[in-house]
Homo-oligomer: A and B are copies of this chain.
């Protein structure tokens, strides 16, 4: 295993310490239980937004804490949902009196832990709503599975919902914006290589030098199908088609297009993917109103990418454009 680490079990804690010192102007880090809050939390009268999940997806979620996005994030162990006690303490720390929204990716672990946390927080008199993101079209037959995974849309939903909260909209309205982004968003991902979980010490799956996995998640789960490596034009088509058909996205739609790297893929290649995506969407008269290209929701050192499209309207665009000031995403301020 080739990683810049000391002991596998210390990676998360050490990264938190680094974030605390590197971004002291934006965030504060609490330990035992671990969570990251924006430096000025709680913001009075504003809905607090909490997300969280296993570590290994950096900059998500800790890198999205700050003005205009998340109020707090709970990092679990690598690829392991955080625990209810973390979530409860974080919920209390960001409750500015207007309630707290939990943005939860649809994984059994995340759902169960956030449910327990919400029950505990409500028991302490805090109003809590939860929105579950489940945008991964790679998961078919969701009746026979734990349902679609929450992936790329989560990043975009956190940004847009954060902007709505910043306008001091009430909890229900903020949660509705988040649900809308999730409902109008779809993602599909692929891997060129497996990732290696530090504690496991070896790749989660083996992938021969000439093969790739289509329909992977963000935890080194193998995808649904394995096939010979193809050109990026063919790969992009394979990712976009099920996305477009699923919502469906139609000619004349405006979208936010997000090309995401899985952690081991350089920006150069992500731009090459974006180039193909722009061609495909252009050919279908779908307008890319806004875009994001980079590694924002990663899977440790996995090479590969995901594509997310969210159908946008004027309100969502103006919320996307609103200022954001976090370690991982920043503009307008």
Contacts and interface: CB of A to CB of B under 8 A. Distances in A.
Interface in A9-24: 11, 14-15, 17-19, 21-22
Contacts of A4: 192, 232, 235, 265, 269-270, 272-273, 304-305
Nearest to A302: B266
Query: Which range holds the interface residue count of chain A?
Result: 35 or more
Contact of A295 (B18, B267, B331): B267
The 4 A-B residue pairs with the shortest CB-CB distance in the complex, in nearest-first order: A18-B275, A18-B271, A15-B271, A263-B266
Contacts of A22: 271, 274, 278, 291, 293
Given A330-B331, A333-B332, A269 B18 contact: no
A197 to B, nearest CB: 12
Interface stretch (A51-59, A164-172, A215-223): A51-59
Given A4-B273, A21-B278, A235-B4, A298 B266 contact: yes
Interface of A: 2-6, 11, 14-15, 17-19, 21-22, 55-56, 58-59, 63, 192-193, 209, 212, 229, 231-233, 235, 263-275, 278, 288, 291, 293, 295, 298, 300-301, 303-305, 330-333
A275 B232 contact: no
A2 B278 contact: no
Given A6-B272, A233-B6, A267 B18 contact: no
A266 to B, nearest CB: 4
Contacts of A18: 271-275, 278, 293
